[in-house]
Amino acid sequence: MTRDHVAINKAVWEADAANWEEIGARLWSMEAPVWGNWNTPEETLNILPEDMRGKAAIELGCGTGYVSGWMTQRGAEVTAIDVSPQQLATARQLAQTHGAAIDFLEGNAEATGLPDASFDFAISEYGAAIWCPPEVWLREAWRLLKPDGALVFLGNHPLSLICSPLNGAPCDRQLHRPYKDMWGADWTKVDFEPSGVCFNLTIADWMALFAEIGFAVTRYQEVYAPEWAKGTRAAIPAEWAKTYPMEQVWHLKKPA
Ligand SMILES: C[S@@+](CC[C@H](N)C(=O)[O-])C[C@H]1O[C@@H](n2cnc3c(N)ncnc32)[C@H](O)[C@@H]1O
């Protein structure tokens, strides 16, 4: 990836931010967290520690900030970084509405400038998890975590990428791209709903990178669409996602 993905993705999110205000407001108001494109309930995925009192947590690529809001409800002291000032403006406003004290920072999740070993818990839901090169942002997350700290991230499953046509049309049951040497995809010039530059790896390459950095994998989840799902979300038809995993969640630990 030689193009400047950070500037490209920032521009995409600046332009799209207004479309996320309503979604953000709805998610901030949920009684319990829900995750990903099909709003998979927290009780199914168990992503957040139930009690985060006394924990310092960071969200990498926070968007409208609802994940950070859920962490403050569980007692964490939360820092949230995003590259888009417009997304942060929505997040700040929603945090104020909900009385959540969150330290919002404008910046690149690949190089936060925050001190080493300052967080117990790091998370990304479709933030750095998909918009930043894994070999860069995972090293930054490692640096930010204290020993025994945990990182959880959720994004697209690599299978959904190889089943996505090159022109950006919704994914189907054909293999449109090679799996070997997968790095992600440039969606800037596609015919359907162009966006930015996203990153993904084969499962073996994710595992190799975690091991190289020093992360231990504590859990890996593949997320399908629920039976009630209809239509298409994020260019993935519900009918596809009921039988193939649309999303993945990696739970990692920095050893003590
Ligand atoms: C889909 S939102 C993620 C937030 C939320 N969990 C969600 O799913 O809506 C993606 C966010 O990642 C941010 N982002 C993209 N590249 C980034 C980077 N290099 N550093 C920090 N944030 C980034 C975008 O500005 C955007 O707000």
Provide the 3-class DSSP secondary structure of residue 24. Answer: helix
For residue 186, give the nearest of 208, 161, 206, 210 by alpha carbon.
161
What is the number of other CB atoms lying within 10 angstroms of the CB of residue 124? Answer: 26
Report the percentage of the chain scoring pLDDT > 90: 99
Q: Mind listing the pLDDT tens digit for each residue in 71-94?
A: 999 999 999 999 999 999 999 999
Whether the per-residue pLDDT at 8 is higher than 80: the answer is: yes
The rounded Å distance from CA 219 to ligand 1 centre is: 23
Minimum-distance ligand 1 atom for the alpha carbon of 109: 20
pLDDT tens by residue, 159-183: 999 999 999 999 999 999 999 999 9
Atom of ligand 1 nearest to the CA of 23: 9
pLDDT given for residue 1 in this prediction: 55
5-156+197-232+248-253: which CATH number, 1.10.3720.10, 3.40.50.620, 3.40.50.150, 3.20.20.330? 3.40.50.150
Is pLDDT above 70 for 244? Answer: yes
Q: Which atom of ligand 1 is nearest to the CA of 84?
A: 25
Give the residue, by CA position, lying nearest to ligand 1 atom 6.
125
The binding-site residues of ligand 1, defined as CB within 6 angstroms of any ligand atom, are: 6, 9, 13, 61-63, 67, 81-84, 87, 108-110, 125-128, 131-132
- For the chain, percent of residues with pLDDT exceeding 70: 99
The pLDDT assigned to 175 comes to 98
Rounded to the nearest angstrom, the distance between the alpha carbon of 63 and the centre of ligand 1 is 5
223's CB contacts (< 8 A; 6+ apart) are 35, 36, 38, 40, 45, 154, 157, 245, 246, 247, 248, 249
* pLDDT band per the 50, 70, 90 thresholds, residue 248: very high
CA distance 86 to 128: 17
| Average pLDDT, rounded, for the chain | 97
CB 20 within 8 A of CB 90: yes
Pocket probe mutation, ligand 1, options 12, 70, 82, 106, max atoms within 8 Å of Cβ: 82
CA of 233 to the centre of ligand 1 (A): 17
Please give the distance, rounded to the nearest whole angstrom, from the Cα atom of residue 130 to the centre of ligand 1.
8
Per the rule left: phi > 0, alpha: psi between -120 and 50, beta: everything else, 216 is beta
Model pLDDT, residue 98: 98
